[in-house]
Structure 1
Amino acid sequence: MAYLKSILVGILMILVLCLSVLSKYGVGKNCTNTKKGDTIDCIDIYKQPAFDHPLLKDHKICWNLNFIRKQNISKIESSDTKASSEQIHQLGKEIVCPVGTVPIRRTTKRELIFSNLLRKNKQNDTNGKLLLRMNHHYVSVETPYTYTVYNGAIASFGIHTPSVTPDQYSTSQMWIQNGVGHATNSIEAGWAVYPELFGDHNTRIFSQWTADGYISTGCFNTMCTGFVQIHSQILFGAALNPLTPYGKEVFFSVIMDEDTKSWWFCIGNEHKTPIGYWPSEIFIYLPGASLIRFGGIAGAMPNTPSPPMGNGNLPTEDYKMESTGFMRFLQVVEVNGDTRYFGNSAITQKDTSADCYDIIFRKYGYWKRRKHGYNSMIFGGPGGNCP
C-alpha cells in the first residue's frame, strides 16, 4: 500500500511540474487548435514567447494604433477588395482562442533545428568563405539608394502555390532594411512555399528578421523570441489557398509607429488588420528604413534545379497580369505617415537569365490605373538549371 502511495505521489508531482511549465505560457488554462495539420496553442498574451527575449523583459504591449489609419489612396476594384476581405476572414475562422490569449503555431523540433541551420548558413566562417547553404535567385524592384528614410511598405500580393520539392522554396515578399554587412537590420514579409521549413507544400504567410546581418539574431516567424503577436486568430504560418490557377490577392504592409519605433505587420487595404509587431528594442539600426524592396526568391539545395517563382510563368511585354506572378499598388510610407507610390526612379534587379525568372515594373496613367493599380510588377518564371 505504501509502495502504491509513493507511486501516486510521484505521478502527482510530475503532473504539477508539467502544469507549472505549461502555465508559464498560459497553455494549461486555455486551449489548442488544429488547422491544416498545424497545432496552434492559445497563449496568454503577456506570457507569449516574445517576452523571453532579454531586451523585452519590461516591454509593455502597445495598444495605440492610431497611426494605422485609412490611407488616402486609390482603391482596387470592388470585386478584388471583396475577395481580399474574404481571404482575410478565412485565415482565422478555424482558430478560436479565449479573450486575453493569442495563437502561436507550435514549432516542431525539426523546424527549430532547420531554422537554426538557416541562420548559421548566412554567416561567414573564420576564413571568410561562405558556408554551404541553399543557392537562391531573386528578382525585385526597389527604391534607389538615397538618403531618404522610409517608415514602411505596402503592396497587394498575388497569391500562388508554385510547385516545389522538399529541397526547394519559393517566396513573394517585401524587404524593409537599413545598414550593410554585420550592421544589416532587416524585416522580410510576404508568403512562402517552403516544405522543409513548414512541413508541407501550402502557401503560408511568413516573415524573417535580423538585427546584425544574421550573425546572432533573427529567425523565421516566431521561431525565436522577438515578434509580439496581438491578433487573436491570424498569425505567421497561416496557410493561404488560391481559389483559381492565377491566385487571388491580399494586401500586406509593414509600417513603423513613429512614437514607439516598433514595426507593425498588417493585412488588408482600406481597413488594415494589425497582426503584431517587432519592438524597437530588438533592432539597432532600424528607426527608419533606407531601402524598400518588393520581389521574389527561389531557392534550392546545391546541384538541384531552381523551383518556379510566382505562378511559374514568365512575364511578357503584353503585361498580362492575370497569367503570371504579380504585385500591385506598390507603396512606401514616408516619415510623416503619408504613402506614395513607387515612381519612375524605382530600380528593377535580377541575378539570373530571363528564361529562368524575369520582372517587369510599370507605372500607369489614368486609363490603366484601375486595372493595374497605378504601379505594379509582374514577375516570376519556371526556374530550372539557372545560371
Structure 2
Amino acid sequence: MDIYGFNLEHGQQTGGFIWIYNTDEASAVNKVIAGWNVEPESYNDSQTHFSTWFIEGSNVCPDMRCPGFESVFSSEIVPGMVISPVSTTSGKKQYITVRVSKDQNSGDWQIYYGFNGDAKLAGYYPRSLFTSLSDKPVTILFGGYALRKDQKPSPPMGSGNAPFKNAASFRSIKFFDAGGNAHPIDFRLGFISNCYTISVIENDGFFYGGPGNIC
C-alpha cells in the first residue's frame, strides 16, 4: 500500500490498513489490524507510522503501548515507528508491504512488514490473546480510512486525491490459504465507500481516497 503524510490536528486520523476480525456473540469481538496511519492524538506528532492493533472484546491494544505484540529480534521495525520517506503525488511512490497470517502450528497471528520491498516477519500476537479469532472463520477487510472527532474537518484519505490520477493504491493483493499458498485477488469484491472514492479491483489492485473537508 502506498504511504503518505499529512499535517493533521488532534482529533483527526487517516491511513490504510488490513483488518482481520471475527464476531462471535458467545465470546467477544476479536480483531487484528496492520498498516499505516497518521494520528496526532496517539503519537503526539503528525508523522506517518507503521501501526498494528489487536482487539479482544473491550481490550484495545495499539502498537507497543500495552502487552500483546511480540517483536522478533531480526525485525528492523516495531509497531509505532515512523515510516520515512513517504510518497508525494508529484514524485516517487513509497510503499509498504503488509501481510497478516495465522501460524498453523502455534495459532499465533503473525505480522509481516516491508518498506519498498518484500515483507519480513516483524512479530506476532500470541494465540492466548484471543478467543473467537483463534479458531473461528474470519472476515478480511482492506483499504483506507479517515476519522474525525467533534467539529474537526474530515482529513484526506490515501494521497488526498480521488481515483484515478495520483490516487493512493493497494497493489499485488493476495489471499493466503491454510497451506500458505498465495492466490491473487483479481476479481471484484464488495466494498464500503463513505464520502471518499474507491475503484474496483483490477490487476490485483485498486485505487482509493480523496481530499478532506468533504463530509
TM-score in terms of structure 2 length: 0.89
Aligned: 1:349 with 2:189 = no
- CA change 1:305–1:362 in 2 (3 A) is same
Which residue, out of 77, 101, 110, partners 1:255?
Answer: 101
Aligned: 1:277 with 2:119 = no
Aligned: 1:165 with 2:9 = yes
Q: How far has the Cα of 1:244 moved from its partner?
A: 4.5
8 Å Cα contact 2:3/2:86 also seen in 1: no
* Residue 44 (structure 1) aligns with: none
Amino acid at match of 2:11: D
Supply the distance in 2 between the matched residues of 1:345 and 1:243 (Cα, whole angstroms).
29
Q: How far has the Cα of 1:163 moved from its partner?
A: 3.2
User: How many pairs does the alignment contain?
Assistant: 208
The structure carrying a bigger helix percent of its residues is 1
Supply the distance in 2 between the matched residues of 1:383 and 1:228 (Cα, whole angstroms).
35
Q: How far has the Cα of 1:207 moved from its partner?
A: 1.1
Supply the distance in 2 between the matched residues of 1:311 and 1:272 (Cα, whole angstroms).
22
Q: How far has the Cα of 1:221 moved from its partner?
A: 0.7
Supply the distance in 2 between the matched residues of 1:220 and 1:236 (Cα, whole angstroms).
8
- CA change 1:272–1:304 in 2 (3 A) is closer
- Give matches, 1:1-387, under 5 Å: 157-179=1-23, 183-212=28-57, 215=58, 217-231=59-73, 233-242=76-85, 244-246=87-89, 247-268=93-114, 272-286=119-133, 287=135, 289-316=137-164, 320=165, 323-352=166-195, 357-363=196-202, 374-386=203-215
Q: How far has the Cα of 1:159 moved from its partner?
A: 1.1
Q: How far has the Cα of 1:288 moved from its partner?
A: 5.3
SS class of match (2:53): strand
SS class of match (1:235): coil
Supply the distance in 2 between the matched residues of 1:211 and 1:239 (Cα, whole angstroms).
26
SS class of match (2:41): helix
Q: How far has the Cα of 1:165 moved from its partner?
A: 1.5
Supply the distance in 2 between the matched residues of 1:346 and 1:180 (Cα, whole angstroms).
23
Per-residue deviation, residues 334-385 of structure 1 (Å, max 9, x unmatched): 1221111224241121133xxxx1101222xxxxxxxxxx311111111214
Amino acid at match of 1:227: F
Q: How far has the Cα of 1:289 moved from its partner?
A: 4.5
Q: How far has the Cα of 1:296 moved from its partner?
A: 1.3
SS class of match (1:201): coil
- CA change 1:243–1:177 in 2 (3 A) is closer
Larger Cα-atom Rg: 1
Quote the sequence identity (%).
27
Amino acid at match of 1:266: Y
Per-residue deviation, residues 244-291 of structure 1 (Å, max 9, x unmatched): 413311211111110011011112398542111000011001135521
8 Å Cα contact 1:176/1:289 also seen in 2: no
Amino acid at match of 1:305: P
Amino acid at match of 1:196: E
Indicate the RMSD between aligned Cα atoms, in angstroms.
2.0
8 Å Cα contact 1:292/1:332 also seen in 2: no
- CA change 1:282–1:194 in 2 (3 A) is same
The structure carrying a bigger strand percent of its residues is 2
8 Å Cα contact 2:96/2:117 also seen in 1: no
8 Å Cα contact 1:308/1:383 also seen in 2: yes
Amino acid at match of 2:94: K
Amino acid at match of 2:109: W
The gaps in structure 1 that reach 5 residues or longer are 1-156, 364-373
Amino acid at match of 1:302: D
8 Å Cα contact 1:183/1:211 also seen in 2: yes
8 Å Cα contact 1:187/1:210 also seen in 2: yes
Amino acid at match of 1:161: G
Q: How far has the Cα of 1:324 moved from its partner?
A: 1.1
8 Å Cα contact 1:193/1:204 also seen in 2: yes
Supply the distance in 1 between the matched residues of 2:21 and 2:36 (Cα, whole angstroms).
18
